[in-house]
Structures are given as C-alpha cells and as structure tokens.
Amino acid sequence: MIKGSNKYKELAESIKGIYTVQTLGKRLKINEKKAIYVIYRLRKLGYVKTSYGQGKKRLYYISMDNLHKRISYTQRINEISPIKLASSNPYYIYGRIPSIEETLIYAIKQKEVRYIIASLALFKKVKYWALLYKLAKKEGLVREVVALYEVSKIVVKKVKRMPKRFYNLALQKKSDSYIYIIKGLNSSDFKEIEKKWKVYIPLNREDLGDYKHD
C-alpha cells in the first residue's frame, strides 16, 4: 500500500482523470476496499473532487488542480473574525464557499474556546436565519446558538436582529436541564444569559478583548 503524502501527490499526478471506485481499482490493480482508501487519502490531501453520474453513481475527479480550489472552515472564519485560528487538521470544502451559517455551526461543534470566541463575529454576517436554525436543530445546538448570539450582541458591533420565530423556537422548557458548550466551563460574567437559556457560556469578558475595536 502507498505510504506518505509525497507518494500520494505523485500518484495524483500520474492518474489524473475521472474514476469510479471500480475503475480506479482496475487502474491501480487493487481491490475495491483499497481503492476506497486511496480515494480517502487523496481527498484528504485535496486532490479529489466528487460528483455524481447516471444513477447517482459517485465519480471521483483526481487532479492536482483540485488543491487550488478548496477552502477550509477555519479560513472562512479567519476572513471575518478578529481572532485568527490555526488548525492542524483543517476540514476542506471543494468547489464552493461554505455559507456563514454552516461555518458558524462548525465552529461551535469544535468545542474549543478560541473557536467559540471567533464564532461570535460570524453572527453579524448571518443572512439566512432559517438555514441557521435548520442546521442548529440538526446538530442539537439551537439553544447554544441563541445563547452565543446574545453574547455576540454585547461584544460585536452591527449584529442583526434574530427573527422572533428563531428566538421563540429556542425557548427552553421547564424540563430542560443545563447544557455545556464546552464541558466543565461556565461564565462569571454572562450569568443572565446562562440562566435564560440554561446554557453554560465558556467565556468571560476578559476573553473577548479582541472585540474592543470591532
């Protein structure tokens, strides 16, 4: 089996083209399981773009050119937030720019303090609140999103008003228990927001100094 990033780079250069799992297996003279693994490794390095043919059959376009048509969620966050992030294992999207709404959900899901701080800046760019709600509901993050939105209104300028429907759908029930955004972390400064949404905020005002000149 091929090992090392350089070997996969050489492979991508040598087999440029469109494949199915089966045709790639035949080209490399390997079985389907190994072909799937090769596609996985090539995609991780940015050399594969996936599309669908007849019958929704997956087609894999392997090319070095794909590497230059990608953007990570971290890059998207850094375009907007005053807090710049670095990721040792970025998640790349190919052939399109991820929406602010999906990028915001991604940031919250990382469960890291710097991602949560950076995510606050994204709220001022949200356009499609219905999409944000849909994504948040899918990931079980509706209350977390609204709680962080309320923090963002305090520290980020020009945050647009959240639609009343989103707000009402997020209202806690009496039976709801407190939830953590980051396990074990809560706030000394945003107690009212925590109480209102039963969501522990993993931030204090001193963590948000980068927003003073926002």
Q: Which of 40-49, 95-104, 130-139, 144-153 has the lowest mean pLDDT?
A: 40-49
Average pLDDT over residues 70-74: 87
Q: Count CA within 13 A, CB hemisphere, residue 5.
A: 6
Whether the model clears a pTM of 0.75, i.e. scores above it, the answer is no
Statement: residue 92 has pLDDT above 90: no
Tokens 């693994």 sit on residue: 37
Q: Which of 10-19, 24-33, 91-100, 123-132 has the lowest mean pLDDT?
A: 91-100
pLDDT confidence bin for 175, thresholds 50/70/90: confident
Statement: residue 71 has pLDDT above 90: no
Q: What ranges in 111-141 are assigned the alpha helix state H?
A: 113-119, 129-139
What is d(CA 45, CA 124) in angstroms, rounded to the nearest whole number?
A: 32
Most confidently predicted of 90-104, 115-129, 171-185, 200-214: 115-129
pLDDT confidence bin for 57, thresholds 50/70/90: confident
Residue 46 has phi, psi (to 5 degrees) of 95, 15
Q: Where are the domains of the chain?
A: 5-68, 74-171+207-211
Statement: residue 3 has pLDDT above 60: no
Pair 135, 102: CB distance under 8 Å = yes
CA proximity to 109, closest of 141, 86, 82, 132:
141
Statement: residue 50 has pLDDT above 90: no
Q: Which fold has domain 5-68?
A: Arc Repressor Mutant, subunit A (1.10.10)
Share of the chain above pLDDT 90, in %: 70
More confident residue, 106 or 92: 106
Pair 77, 107: CB distance under 8 Å = yes
What is d(CA 99, CA 122) in angstroms, rounded to the nearest whole number?
A: 10
> What pLDDT sits at residue 155?
95
